[in-house]
Amino acid sequence: MENKQKQPKKSKQFTGIKSSGLVIAACLVIAVCIYKFVLGNPANFVNGDPNNHPLEGNFFGLIYKGGVIVPIIQTLLLTVMALSVERFFAIKSAQGKGKLVKFVADVKASLSKGDIKGASVLCEKQQGSVANVLGSTLIKYAEVEEDKTLSKEQQILAIQKEVEEATALELPMLSQNLPIIATIVTLGTLMGLLGTVIGMIKSFASLAGAGGTDSVALSAGISEALINTAFGIATGALAVVSYNYFTSKIDAITYCIDEVGFSIVQTFAASHK
């Protein structure tokens, strides 16, 4: 009689957007449109001319005066927002349908009773990355259990290898696009500082060309230049929060995978003496 277990269905989870370059390109187009048609709207400036100073208290006009660096920082900000939404759904899908902590507890309870079939059923219901790894490992468990040519140590090593291989297939999908967010953490702030430096250079160059010390013009130029710093720091701060949040979620999933993998190996070792 054949005792092979039926392989659990691989969950059709959302693994994320692979073409991050397209996301960045789309964000750049949106940022340029916002810069030209929203921030650069003539209604935001004195006499309806974007070359003039912004109207008093008009924040959009002030941002527009930050110069060409503004749409670049906007692109970075929109990219962080888009990839954060993408990672949220990808990691939520990877966690499965039910609470991950409860799933791991139920699987460990089934394994402690030697109910391998029950653990496999739980995987089919839960789905997600942890369930995928566990399901693959349970198949290997059944295979090595039937293979009488292997020693106990070889059987345990085969199960451990299956856990590692299945994990290696799942984890890259979880961390996908996170390196881009991590890069924007620094890049956003640097772009803000670059915009500020360029703005300051322009302000002092204008004063030097006028041959006087116009304090009003100088203060206006400095405030416009500092907009880039504020914008860049806000982008970097959002990227830091996003990166750390999703990294902690991935660490929790990885811990669950390690926990159930260890439980399977311990169950096999205890039941095959």
Question: For residues 184 and 238, what is the distance between their CA atoms, to the nearest angstrom?
Answer: 9
Strands, E assignment, the chain: none
For 12-34, what is the mean pLDDT? Answer: 88
Distances (CA, A) of 37 to 26, 42, 57, 123, 259: 16, 9, 19, 51, 53
- Asked whether residue 98 carries a pLDDT value surpassing 70, the answer given is yes
Question: For residues 88 and 124, what is the distance between their CA atoms, to the nearest angstrom?
Answer: 23
Q: Which helix (H) or strand (E) holds 168?
A: helix 152-174
Residue 33 pLDDT class (50, 70, 90 cuts): very high
The pLDDT tens digits of the residues spanning 190-243 come to 999 998 888 888 777 777 665 555 666 666 667 777 888 999 999 999 999 999
The pLDDT of residue 12: 61
The pLDDT tens digits of the residues spanning 110-167 come to 888 878 888 889 998 998 889 999 999 988 888 888 888 888 889 889 999 999 999 9
Nearest Cα residue to 105 out of 126, 91, 129: 126
User: Within 13 Å, how many C-alpha atoms sit on residue 155's CB side?
Assistant: 24
Question: For residues 172 and 184, what is the distance between their CA atoms, to the nearest angstrom?
Answer: 20
pTM: 0.85
Return the domain boundaries, the chain: 20-271
The pLDDT of residue 269: 83
Question: For residues 56 and 58, what is the distance between their CA atoms, to the nearest angstrom?
Answer: 6
